[in-house]
Amino acid sequence: MTQRLRARFSAVSVFAVVGALALGMIASGPANAAISKTTLVVGMSADLDYLDPAATMDNAQWKITYPCYQRLVEYNGASTDVVPGLASAWRISRDHLTYTFTIKSGQKFSDGTAVTAKAVQYTFERLLKVAKGPADNFTAIASVRANGLKTVVFVLNQVSPQFLYTLAGNYGGIVNPATASKAVNGDSGQAYLADHTAGSGAYVLTEWKKGQYLKLEQNKFYGGKKPVLETVLFKIVGDASSQRLQLGKGEIDIAEGITSDQYAAVAKEDGNTVINKPSLTVDIMYINSGKGNAALKNTLVRQAISYALDYQGIMAATQAGNATQMNGPIPDGMWGQDPKGFQYTTNVTKAKALLAQAGVTNLSLDLLYSARKSWWASEAQLIQDNLAKAGITVNLKLTEYATARKMIDAGTFDLCLGTWSPDYADPSMFMNFWFDSGNFGLAGNRSFYSNPAVDKLIRSAASITDQKKRTALYIQAQKIVVEEAAYGYLYQMNYRLALRTDVKGFVYNPMIEQIYNLETMYKA
Site of interaction with another protein (CB under 8 A): 8-9, 11-12, 15, 19, 23, 26-33, 35, 39, 41, 46-47, 49-50, 52, 55, 57-58, 131-136, 190-191, 194-195, 209-213, 233, 235-239, 241-242, 245-246, 249, 400-403, 405-407, 420, 433, 442-444
In the complex, minimum distance from the CB of residue 199 to another protein, in angstroms, rounded to a whole number: 18
| Nearest CB to another protein, comparing residues 103 and 205 | 205
| Nearest CB to another protein, comparing residues 176 and 246 | 246
Distance CA 63, CA 49 (A): 13
Q: How far is CA 325 from CA 56, 311, 315, in A?
A: 31, 7, 8
In the complex, minimum distance from the CB of residue 475 to another protein, in angstroms, rounded to a whole number: 23
| Nearest CB to another protein, comparing residues 429 and 457 | 429
| Nearest CB to another protein, comparing residues 223 and 510 | 510
In the complex, minimum distance from the CB of residue 494 to another protein, in angstroms, rounded to a whole number: 20
Q: How far is CA 159 from CA 2, 171, 379, in A?
A: 96, 20, 40
Distance CA 305, CA 346 (A): 10
| Nearest CB to another protein, comparing residues 199 and 418 | 418
In the complex, minimum distance from the CB of residue 26 to another protein, in angstroms, rounded to a whole number: 5
| Nearest CB to another protein, comparing residues 307 and 434 | 434
Q: How far is CA 386 from CA 85, 294, 302, 306, 321, in A?
A: 49, 21, 14, 10, 18
In the complex, minimum distance from the CB of residue 520 to another protein, in angstroms, rounded to a whole number: 23
Question: Are residues 304 and 354 in contact, defined by beta-carbon separation less than 8 angstroms?
Answer: yes
| Nearest CB to another protein, comparing residues 32 and 79 | 32
| Nearest CB to another protein, comparing residues 69 and 433 | 433
The DSSP string of 174-230 is PPPGGGGGG-STT-TTHHHHHS----SSSEEEEEEETTTEEEEEE-TT-SSPPPS--
Q: HEC profile for 91-126?
A: EECCCCCEEEEEECCCCECCCCCECCHHHHHHHHHH
User: Is the C-alpha dihedral spanning 425, 428, 431, 434 positive or negative?
Assistant: negative
Which residues, at least 6 apart from 231, have a Cβ–Cβ distance to it below 8 Å? Answer: 38, 39, 40, 215, 216, 217
CA angle 233, 238, 243 (to 5 degrees): 70
Could you tell me which of 180, 238, 198 has the C-alpha nearest to residue 64?
A: 198
Q: How far is CA 137 from CA 194, 197, 429, 443, in A?
A: 20, 22, 10, 12
Which residues, at least 6 apart from 178, have a Cβ–Cβ distance to it below 8 Å? Answer: 109, 111, 113, 198
| Nearest CB to another protein, comparing residues 107 and 137 | 137
In the complex, minimum distance from the CB of residue 5 to another protein, in angstroms, rounded to a whole number: 9
The DSSP string of 286-331 is EE-TTTS-GGGGSHHHHHHHHHH--HHHHHHHHHTT-EEE-SSSSP
Question: Are residues 364 and 292 in contact, defined by beta-carbon separation less than 8 angstroms?
Answer: no
Distance CA 121, CA 144 (A): 6
| Nearest CB to another protein, comparing residues 440 and 508 | 440
In the complex, minimum distance from the CB of residue 30 to another protein, in angstroms, rounded to a whole number: 7
Distance CA 409, CA 446 (A): 7
Distance CA 436, CA 457 (A): 10
Strands 415-420 and 364-369 turn out to be parallel
In the complex, minimum distance from the CB of residue 210 to another protein, in angstroms, rounded to a whole number: 4
Q: How far is CA 298 from CA 83, 117, 257, 318, 416, in A?
A: 46, 54, 41, 29, 18
In the complex, minimum distance from the CB of residue 38 to another protein, in angstroms, rounded to a whole number: 12
| Nearest CB to another protein, comparing residues 133 and 505 | 133
Q: Backbone phi, then psi, for 507, in 5-degree steps?
A: -115, 120
| Nearest CB to another protein, comparing residues 86 and 513 | 513
Could you tell me which of 388, 318, 315, 304 has the C-alpha nearest to residue 346?
A: 304
In the complex, minimum distance from the CB of residue 364 to another protein, in angstroms, rounded to a whole number: 23
In the complex, minimum distance from the CB of residue 77 to another protein, in angstroms, rounded to a whole number: 26
The three-state secondary structure class of 152 is strand
In the complex, minimum distance from the CB of residue 124 to another protein, in angstroms, rounded to a whole number: 16
Q: Which H helix or E strand runs over 398? A: strand 393-398
In the complex, minimum distance from the CB of residue 446 to another protein, in angstroms, rounded to a whole number: 9
| Nearest CB to another protein, comparing residues 343 and 403 | 403
